[in-house]
Amino acid sequence: MIATRPGAATPARFYASTTATFDGDLDLIAIEHAMNGETVQLTRSERIEAARQLDARGIHAAEIARRVGVTRNSVTAWRDSGWAIPVETAEPDPIDIGNATHGRSGYSKGCRCRTCRDGANAASKAAKARKRAAA
């Protein structure tokens, strides 16, 4: 919340929209809260949209960054890219590893499938836990 001194004028409130609450995947109410410096969890697209709207209202990059919860460099990079919302990348297709069997850790070298990666991560965490317990 933005505090004001007693007797000082209340800061002007920014509105993302006067009628709509959603625009596709964007939650305009959450964006409005962020634009006014209130704590709210935003997706990356919502952060970019809030920053774009604040920039259109003439707010400086440092103030936009503070309100949206990112660095000033992020705001500048978004502005330089034309406020383009990045496309989410899909999970890479698994590599065909033929008849190779998965190892003890659930990982076969070169395989990028979710099962192999999760198994390798679990084995690594378990080994670190055993090492900490032994120490």
In this prediction, residue 38 carries a pLDDT of 86
Distance CA 40, CA 69 (A): 9
Secondary structure element (H or E) that encloses residue 22, with its range: strand 22-23
In this prediction, residue 72 carries a pLDDT of 94
pTM for the structure as a whole:
0.56
In this prediction, residue 14 carries a pLDDT of 79
Distance CA 3, CA 90 (A): 43
In this prediction, residue 1 carries a pLDDT of 54
CB count, 10 Å around CB of 14? 18
In this prediction, residue 97 carries a pLDDT of 57
In this prediction, residue 10 carries a pLDDT of 62
Distance CA 45, CA 57 (A): 19
Distance CA 130, CA 65 (A): 42
In this prediction, residue 99 carries a pLDDT of 61
- pLDDT tens digit at each of 135 positions of the chain: 556 666 666 667 777 766 767 677 888 888 888 888 888 888 888 999 999 999 999 999 999 999 999 999 999 999 999 988 777 676 666 656 556 665 555 556 666 666 666 766 777 788 888 888 887
CA 57 to chain centre: 23
- Residue 27's beta-bridge partner residues? 22
